[in-house]
Amino acid sequence: MIVSLDQAEAIFAASADATVGIEEEFAILDPASFDLAPRYEELNAAAQGDPGLRDAVAGELISSEIEIRSGRGENLADALARQRAARRGLFALADAQGVRLGATGTHPWADYREQTNIDTEHYRRVVEGLQYVARRNNTFSLHVHVGIQGADRAVRVCDRLRPVLPLLLAVSASSPYLDGRDAGLHSARTQSFTKSFPRCGIPDSYGSWSAYAEYVAFLERTHSIAEYTQVWWSVRPHFAFGTVEVRICDVQTTAGESDALSGLITACVLQAAHDVDAGLADADPPRRLIEENFWRAIRFGLDGKLIDLEHATEFPAAAAVERLLAWTAPARAAHGLQEPAFGALNGAQRQRRMIDAGADAAEVYRATVRETHSTYSDPKASRA
């Protein structure tokens, strides 16, 4: 749904804090070769016959990708319950249609030149406008929407989340491969997509709804964008839903990791809102400093070091979850959110350990797909 700036302000005014929506993007795979398989249209057609999947399944840029959406959950627990049910249905559908589903930020060896784009007005416009940049984007992400009442407040929440984004990326990293090679990165997805698309990655700090609306109006007036969803910042106010959308993360290899990360993101958004409401000072670091952490998260994930921007000192990236949990404790208590539980290693770290032990890309990817199938299709099976 495309809405105007005036409509968006009204939607945020009517929004409610702490509603949650979860979106997960999966690769559609040939079950024998594990190559990307352009089967979205078939899966989508089959999903229309399932009331539980009809509104939960969506297409993305390429026809070998499928997205599953929780829809609006009244709170995190509701959104997770909806998403788990939708996942079970999707994985059962994939099995019935003779395909597998993968959940890493990139496919290890797929050639983007061989991928077809889905035929919708929106994605035709994206491909026509961005050309190579769009065609090159064969990536898979986790997006979380959190309801925030008030457009001005939502923009201020986005501002406060800017320095948090690299920490969330480091936690979520699951894509060491790109174009058939070990990229030497923990999140090749971010380098391929986020560092390539315009109006993407770490946003500026806007300070108010009026400033953000003026920016979007400028883009529209100068024909830089056709509609507001072409502002692809890694955190943004979503006009149609009245939410703050966090879009920085790789999709998660296991269901437990995805649930934990969704919970952590939700807590971060709500804590930022709590800090705005309390009138706490916003450090508002310049983008150039946040970008230093952003690169470190791409390159080393949780195996490296990040920078405490306030004190200009380094800390182990492995402490990112601990730091975020400490910061979000008040919001989690206020909203009754359980502390999310993460495993000892994230997706990229598990893959990199296999790479270091001599496994090739096919062995690594098959292992991750097995993890994905066993945990997303069975909610009781989880690493986290």
Where does the chain have alpha helices with state H?
5-14, 40-47, 76-96, 121-130, 132-135, 151-161, 165-172, 188-189, 209-221, 255-277, 287-300, 320-335, 347-356, 361-376
Tell me, what's the pLDDT at 129? 86
pLDDT (tens digit, 9 = 90+) per residue, 144-188? Answer: 999 999 999 999 999 999 999 999 999 999 999 999 999 999 999
Distance between CA 44 and CA 313 in Å, rounded?
49
Kindly state the average pLDDT of the residues 43-71. Answer: 94
CATH no. for residue 283?
Answer: 3.30.590.20
Q: Are 376 and 91 in contact (CB under 8 A)?
A: yes
Residues 314-341 pLDDT 10s: 999 999 999 999 999 999 999 999 999 9
Beta-bridge partners for 25? 67
Q: Is residue 264 part of a domain?
A: yes
User: What span, in angstroms and rounded, lies between the C-alpha atoms of 314 and 275?
Assistant: 24
Q: When comparing pLDDT for 2 and 222, which is higher?
A: 222
State yes or no: pLDDT of 128 exceeds 70: yes
pLDDT band of 2, cuts 50, 70, 90: confident
pLDDT of residue 384: 38
pLDDT bucket at 65, cuts 50 / 70 / 90: very high
CA gap 346, 272 in Å, rounded? 25
Establish if 381 belongs to a structural domain: no
> Considering the chain, what percentage of its residues have pLDDT values greater than 90?
90
Q: In this structure, what is the dihedral angle of CA atoms 352, 356, 358, 362, given to the nearest 10 degrees?
A: 10
What does the pLDDT look like over 184-230, one tens digit per residue? 999 999 999 999 999 999 999 999 999 999 999 999 999 999 989 99
Q: Do β-strands 232-233 and 200-201 pair in parallel, antiparallel, or remain unpaired?
A: parallel
| Within a domain: 145 | yes
- What is the count of structural domains for the chain? 1
pTM over 0.75: yes
Q: Is residue 344 part of a domain?
A: yes
Residue range 340-351, pLDDT digits in tens: 999 999 999 999
What is the DSSP code string of 190-203? Answer: IIIIITTSSSEESP
Find where tokens 């979503």 sit.
Answer: 238
Q: Is the pLDDT of residue 125 over 70?
A: yes
Question: From CA 139, how far away is CA 26, in angstroms rounded?
Answer: 9
pLDDT at residue 383, rounded to an integer = 39
pLDDT reported for residue 382 = 44
Which range marks the domain in which residue 280 is found?
Answer: 5-376
> Rounded to whole angstroms, how far apart are CA atoms 60 and 122?
10
Mean pLDDT of the chain: 95
Q: For residues 90 and 225, what is the distance between their CA atoms, to the nearest angstrom?
A: 33
The pLDDT assigned to 380 comes to 61
The answer as to whether 382 is a domain residue is no
Number of H helices, E strands in the chain: 14, 13
pLDDT of residue 193: 95
Token output for 295: 């690169």
Q: Is the pLDDT of residue 275 over 70?
A: yes
| In-domain check, residue 383 | no
- The residue assigned the tokens 């990293």 is 173
Q: Is the pLDDT of residue 27 over 50?
A: yes
Q: Is the pLDDT of residue 302 over 80?
A: yes
Rounded to whole angstroms, how far apart are CA atoms 108 and 39? 19
**Looking at residue 239, what is its pLDDT?**
96
Alpha carbon distance 17, 271 (integer Å): 11
Cα distance between residue 154 and residue 270, in whole Å: 10
66: β partners: 26, 59
Closest CA relative to residue 169, chosen from 346, 331, 26:
346
pLDDT attached to residue 379: 57
Residue 116 reports pLDDT greater than 80: yes
User: pLDDT for 238-248, tens place per residue?
Assistant: 999 999 999 99
Residue 140 counted as domain residue: yes
Average pLDDT over residues 366-380: 90
pLDDT value, residue 378 = 76
The beta-carbon contacts of 95-100 under 8 Å, at least 24 apart in sequence, are 95/377, 96/46, 97/39, 97/42, 97/43, 97/46, 98/31, 99/28, 99/29, 99/30, 99/31, 99/37, 99/39, 99/43, 100/28, 100/29, 100/30, 100/31, 100/34, 100/369, 100/373
> Are 15 and 148 contacting, i.e. CB atoms less than 8 angstroms apart?
yes
